[in-house]
Amino acid sequence: MTQDISTKYVELNTFLRIIGIEGTGGKVKLIIRSGIVKVNGEIETRNKRKLKAGDVVEYLGKEHIVKEELIR
């Protein structure tokens, strides 16, 4: 049985830790809720926002593209 690609995602908080945001999960949550993270050009404050392959996350002026291999 294979998983449909449309149901695969990674949560925003997990993605930020993957790209190297230092600190605890609580710190990452505060970063997201502060309004300085954008997803596809829009400010995102939801900690558990589901990201799909191809989504663009911007943090501190740097854009990070969600790659398929990071998705479960």
Query: What is the distance between the alpha carbons of residues 15 and 57, in angstroms, rounded to a whole number?
Result: 9
pLDDT one-digit tens code per residue, 38-64: 999 999 999 999 999 999 999 999 999
Give me the pLDDT at residue 70, please.
80
Give me the pLDDT at residue 6, please.
56
CB 40 within 8 A of CB 55: yes
Q: Is the C-alpha dihedral spanning 27, 32, 33, 35 positive or negative?
A: positive
Q: Which domains does the chain show, CATH number per domain?
A: 5-70 (3.10.290.10)
pLDDT one-digit tens code per residue, 5-48: 457 899 999 999 999 887 788 899 999 999 999 999 999 999 99
Question: Got the DSSP string for 20-69?
Answer: T--S-HHHHHHHHHTT-EEETTEE---TT-EE-TT-EEEETTEEEEPPGG
